[in-house]
Amino acid sequence: SLPPASVDAGQFRQVFYNLVRNAYQALPGDKGRITLRSRASEYEHLVSIEDEGTGISPEHMGTLFEPYQTTKPTGSGLGLLIVRRIVREHGGEISVESQQGHGTRVILHLPRLERSVRLLGGPKPAIDLD
């Protein structure tokens, strides 16, 4: 089990919907595998969504997060832009690795929830602002 992360559940539902939908749409003929992985390091949570799809061409890698850039006939070109904005609003970052013809991996880097430390048996800290 992973330690807690401080995220807005509704916004991250949108993040995962967009990323899994993109992965599914990249699968050739609706066949292939989509893998979700998560792990925590000392400072962050890493969540990856990996597909065995068509991959992203090198010329499109540089425009993934630009508005209205899409290779899909019915895409709006806003999905990844929205995903990146939500992730960054939570103090995180997103990275994309892709090899054309072999698939794509999207990695979310999210900060771990920091906890305050209080000594056992000691008095609660008091702050005097005067």
46-77 confidence digits (pLDDT tens): 999 999 999 999 989 888 888 877 767 677 77
* Helices then strands, each counted (H, E), the chain: 3, 4
- Sorted by where each begins, the domain ranges of the chain are 1-85
Q: How confident is the model at residue 31, as a pLDDT?
A: 83
Indicate the range of 67-71, 80-84, 105-109, 126-130 predicted with least confidence. 126-130
**Residue 117 scores a pLDDT above 50:** no
91-109 confidence digits (pLDDT tens): 999 999 999 989 999 999 9
CATH architecture group of domain 1-85 = 2-Layer Sandwich (3.30)
CA proximity to 47, closest of 15, 76, 25: 15
**Are residues 76 and 68 in contact, defined by beta-carbon separation less than 8 angstroms?**
yes
41 against 93, higher pLDDT? 93
